[in-house]
Amino acid sequence: MKVLGIESSCDETACAIVEDGKTILSNVVATQIPFHQIYKGVVPEIASRKHAEWILPVVRQALTEANLTLDDVDAIAATNRPGLMGSLLVGFTFGKTLAWSTNKPFIAVNHMLGHLYSAQLVNDVEYPFLGLLVSGGHSIICKVNNFDDLEILGTTVDDSVGEAFDKVSKFYNLGYPGGVVIDKLAQQGDPKSAHFPIPKLDPIEHKYDVSFSGLKTAVIHQRDLFWKDGYEHSIENMCAAFQETAIKTLVNKLLLAVDDTGLKTVVCGGGVAANSRLRSMLAARTDINCIFPPLKLCGDNGAMIAGVAYHFLKRGDRSDWNTVTCARIPQFKRGLEQVQHRGKK
């Protein structure tokens, strides 16, 4: 079964064709980074306009690279939540219309499920496992019972980890995207140069939750208070110390979930899954099996959408033509949460 997957939740116009949920026949990503760099962040209006301009050429390129025509595609999928509403509408409306006009099955896919599935495009992973979903919009620790069944254990109480990276980078005029820039600078610095605080949350109510607002404030407005004697007050040292604290905040809560659930397999997804310190810190753990997607699949891409859609189709699910987009996940809370809206069979 060949599924064409479209992803346009933020600032990448992406389309891929995946066979049987595993074999990537094409994976085209048109990035808008040059158009947003001047603003040091994504401008929603610019993003949606670029999606409208690029969606057709990107889909055509994905078909060409896969050496297929639309007639060879068995089903079409597109991201419908969460994300920037204008961006979502472009890719989702295009995908749904394409499916309707060609009488092909259509699947609306939750972006979060896609990121957690990215690693499974190249690895066989048995359920259940722990998921660490980290990006510019989310910091989630969850128990993954199936491809569409997530039990949310913890999330951020304020900023996401990716948002903290972006805001620190923006304040110090380091460049965009902030996470990539800080990661590179941190590799030239000493993480021991400053000791930024790891926030302490209520151990019962927020056992697996994380917080990055205080860390961001400390790095931006109070960094001189946390420098250690004898270390140069350089940007490289600051980035190294900031990154070390941010990643430790995530890993500490993740390891707590590992101990409590007994699950030893951890699958990471999202843009921050490309962070070199996160990868090295978890790789050093001999007590868990941590699986990361390839770097090219950490960011937004159509392959993860097509991969998830295959499993819905295999189960006999279809999305209703009345399915719509949603900027957020409705009623997002801890506990068993069906984060994918199932359509009619």
Where residue 335 falls among pLDDT bands split at 50, 70, 90?
A: very low
Q: Residue 330: what pLDDT? A: 58
Q: What is the tens place of the pLDDT at every residue in 256-310?
A: 999 999 999 999 999 999 999 999 999 999 999 999 999 999 999 999 999 999 9
Mean pLDDT, to the nearest integer, of 55-71?
98
Pick from 79-83, 90-94, 197-201, 332-336: least confident: 332-336
| Cβ-count burial 303-314 (b if 16+ within 10 Å, e if not) | bbbbbbbbbbbe
pTM: 0.92
Where residue 328 falls among pLDDT bands split at 50, 70, 90?
A: confident
H or E element at residue 48: helix 44-65
The tokens for 5 are 């997957």
Half-sphere exposure in the Cβ direction for 30 (13 Å, CA): 20
Tokens 């805001």: give the residue. 167
pLDDT at 48 over 50: yes
Q: What is the tens place of the pLDDT at every residue in 115-130?
A: 999 999 999 999 999 9
Pick from 240-244, 276-280, 287-291, 336-340: least confident: 336-340
Q: Residue 136: what pLDDT? A: 83
Mean pLDDT, to the nearest integer, of 98-119?
96
DSSP one-letter code for 205? T
Euclidean distance between CA atoms 111 and 339, whole angstroms:
10
Neighbours of 285 (CB within 10 A): 15
Mean pLDDT, to the nearest integer, of 315-326?
93
Where does residue 51 fall: left (phi above 0), alpha (psi -120 to 50 degrees), or beta otherwise? Answer: alpha
H or E element at residue 308: helix 302-315
The answer to whether 144 and 129 are in contact (CB under 8 A) is yes
3-state secondary structure 51-74: HHHHHHHHHHHHHHHCCCCHHHCC
Mean pLDDT, to the nearest integer, of 147-157?
93
Q: What is the tens place of the pLDDT at every residue in 251-271?
A: 999 999 999 999 999 999 999
Mean pLDDT value across the chain: 92
Where residue 337 falls among pLDDT bands split at 50, 70, 90?
A: very low
Taking each helix axis as running N to C, give the angle between helix 276-283 and helix 235-261, from 0 to 180 degrees, rounded to the nearest 10. 40
Q: What is the tens place of the pLDDT at every residue in 23-32?
A: 999 999 999 9
